[in-house]
Amino acid sequence: MTELQDWIQHGAEMRRPLLANPNLRDEQKIVIIGGGLSGLCTAFRLGQKYPDKNLILVEKSDRLGGVIQSWKKNEWICDLAVNASRPHPAMWRLINDLGLAELWKPSTDKVNSRWVWLNNSKHKISPLSLFKIGPLKLRKAIRNSRKGVKSVSQLIPHHKISDALTLGIVNDTSDNVDADFLFPSLTKFGPIQPISNRKLSKLIAPTYPIFQPKSRSIASLKGGMEVLIDALKERIEAMSNVEVLLKQDIESPQLASERFDTPLASIIWTAPGLIENYEQTSLSIFAVGFEQKHVQQIPLGYGLLIPDKSIPISGILHESDIHYSQRAPEGHRLFRLMVPHERWDQDDATVKNSLPEFFGKNKPVLFENIGTRIIPRFKPGHMDKISKLSYDFTYLGWSVSGVSITHVVDEVERLAELL
């Protein structure tokens, strides 16, 4: 595959390091540690490509899927972590290969707005937001970020806007987030792109199966993203060359090599925690539902980002607005609240008492704490550090490649091609 063909296949994901040991192709037995989305995709793709190899998928907990979980209560459906995917051919290819094309639809056409909470009021995020920063100031910051090892706050020199962006993605303030990690195309991290973004986008567009997405749209599965996990499990269980082991606590690749009597080169690590000084943040997810007539003042949209640390909620996602499929009972709207633990006193009433500021005086008909998310920290210099690492095993997953579902899915495709 030529360099340009690589970029057509994977787009800007080519900028991200791939910590893969090419000697993996020579191993007859492959052991995958971690049964989250990355581990499941790895077992699925490599199980397909190498029917004569023996694959073992090992998970610490009693369930597969990792952070991908869909909460359901009567007609309410809310995803705890990933609820949709931005446009990327690798995600579309996975959905198509799993036979889920009929359930995979773009976000509703009427939903095209996002907001940020600044100075106690809601502001729409648009090209005009650049004027809050200053176009010349932003351009200078972007150029300066290309020197490497910068934070998102240095890339986007408006703290409240940059904090809103990072809190909504990685649950951390912009001073603590690597600009190369979150915006590698802006910082020009990694390999040099062979052609302009515009030309590359035109070449990528026809490669989408199912349907060609619109710019800035997202897509999701009817029934929630756990449908993806169920499909992967079903396909893997049907493969005679893949074995799944649950409740297996393997603390390192070295221990995996010893336990399964196989060289380190045969180990694929997709679990978190191996990187030196590994840190995490945590937040709780709340599902909040209202009667439609009580939240008519809230326009349709993707959601609101809240960088104000005095408020326990860092983000409000409009769950029932976004998806083509029903996520709430008829005549109702569903919202997903992100509540960072560093802002919160662990009392659900504190969150509930903050709702009137954003939703009005009417009480919700649904208010439920549906789970906790643990997110890796990606401090400035993360990508530079990752690009210099070298292991005797293969290291994939959220803590290496990125927190987007497309990063994880595309990374596994790149591994399969390398082998």
pLDDT in tens, 167-193: 888 999 999 999 999 999 999 999 999
pLDDT at 1 over 60: no
pLDDT given at position 335 = 98
Provide the token pair at 28. 């007859």
Q: How far is CA 249 from the centre of its chain?
A: 25
Q: Kindly give, in sequence order, each residue whose CB lies less than 8 Å from that of residue 333, ignoring residues fewer than 6 positions away.
A: 289, 290, 292, 295, 298, 318, 320, 321
What fold, for 113-182+280-376?
Answer: Polyamine Oxidase; Chain A, domain 2 (3.90.660)
- Among 283, 274, 305, which residue's Cα sits nearest to residue 124? 305
Average pLDDT over every residue of 59-80: 95
CA atoms within 13 A on the CB side of 269: 25
Average pLDDT over every residue of 302-324: 95
Sign of CA dihedral 173, 412, 59, 383: negative
What CA–CA distance (Å, rounded) separates 287 from 368? Answer: 5
pLDDT at 155 over 70: yes
Q: Where in the chain is the domain with CATH 3.50.50.60?
A: 3-104+204-277+379-418
Q: How far is CA 419 from the centre of its chain?
A: 25
Kind and range of the H or E run holding 190: none
User: What residue ranges in 119-264 does DSSP mark as E strands?
Assistant: 121-124, 219-221, 242-245
79: which strand partners? 70
Provide the token pair at 372. 């906790």
Q: Kindly give, in sequence order, each residue whose CB lies less than 8 Å from that of residue 417, ignoring residues fewer than 6 positions away.
A: 1, 9
Q: What is the pLDDT of residues 324-361, one digit of tens each?
A: 999 999 999 999 999 999 999 999 999 999 999 999 99
What CA–CA distance (Å, rounded) separates 268 from 34? Answer: 9
Average pLDDT over every residue of 263-273: 94
Average pLDDT over every residue of 254-259: 97
- Among 304, 306, 336, which residue's Cα sits nearest to residue 320? 336
Q: What is the pLDDT of residues 24-58, one digit of tens each?
A: 999 999 999 999 999 999 999 999 999 999 999 99
User: What residue ranges in 119-206 does DSSP mark as E strands?
Assistant: 121-124
CATH no. for 3-104+204-277+379-418: 3.50.50.60
Q: How confident is the model at residue 161 (pLDDT cuts 50, 70, 90)?
A: confident
More confident residue, 258 or 139: 258
pLDDT at 131 over 90: no
Q: Where in the chain is the domain with CATH 3.90.660.10?
A: 113-182+280-376
